[in-house]
Structure 1
Amino acid sequence: MNRVPPLADTGLWQAVMAAAAGRCQCRGTCGTSHDKDGGRCKTVHGGYGPRHGTGAARLLAAPADPNGLLLPPHRITALPKQALAAWCPACHDATRRNAHKALEAAAAADGPDGLF
């Protein structure tokens, strides 16, 4: 496995990747069941991307909790390694979109905050 860390890595990214064995830790929060792969995304850091022509996959260290993906960057960088997981870009982006949609749906269910 090619473990080229991101620029400015402080060791946190490497610790998260080691805990994940260099494999995306998504278990379906992206909207894909990953059933063919034992319930976990098959993307490996440095391996081939999920689609032809996407190049080598580069995993991200980001909050394990989908709602944590909506935190501002300065709060995410302060999280301990136990609160982080390895994400492939496709699962990360889809999970973040799903968390954002769920947040908007919850806000809409509370009703409008209008004056009238």
Structure 2
Amino acid sequence: MNGRVPPLAGADLWQAVMAAAAGRCQCRGTCGTTHAKTDGRCDRVHGGYQTRHGCGRVRLLAAPADPAALLLPPHRIAALPKRELAAWCERCHDATRTRRTRQDTVPAAAPDALF
């Protein structure tokens, strides 16, 4: 499929997710970046080269489309159907997961009262 090398396990599912995403990261800013220069969507393409921050080949992941689902245990993520998966570059995936983890661990604000 256009020079895309699938992972060793789950190749059919991975290829289906990549085909639906046209081989491009589907992040639309959940990573904290606006992706403003590329119409709000990450411009990283599987097999392409990163121009900065680690320079190297881009390898897309098939991971949950819903940022909250990125925190599920691996066995639950592996059971998700194709319609609930999206293509993520490593940078957007990691940043989104980190942001989601921080949101879930921030304690609720204490009541603003004296007694």
TM-score when normalising by structure 1: 0.88
Percent pairwise identity: 68
Alpha-carbon distance, 1:56 to partner? 1.0
1:91 match: 92
Instruction: Judge which range, 5-14 or 56-65, deviates more.
Output: 5-14
Question: Structure 2 CA distance, aligned partners of 1:63 and 1:39?
Answer: 19
Question: Structure 2 CA distance, aligned partners of 1:39 and 1:103?
Answer: 25
Q: Are the counterparts in 2 of residues 45 and 59 from structure 1 also a CA contact under 8 Å?
A: yes
Runs of 4+ in 1 over 6 A off after TM superposition: none
Cα 1:50–1:86 shift into 2, 3 Å: farther
For 1:97-116, list aligned pairs within 5 A.
97-105=98-106, 108-109=107-108
Alpha-carbon distance, 1:9 to partner? 2.7
2:113 match: none
Cα 1:69–1:3 shift into 2, 3 Å: same
State the number of aligned residues.
109
Q: Are the counterparts in 2 of residues 2 and 45 from structure 1 also a CA contact under 8 Å?
A: no
1:67 match: 68
1:15 match: 16
RMSD: 1.5
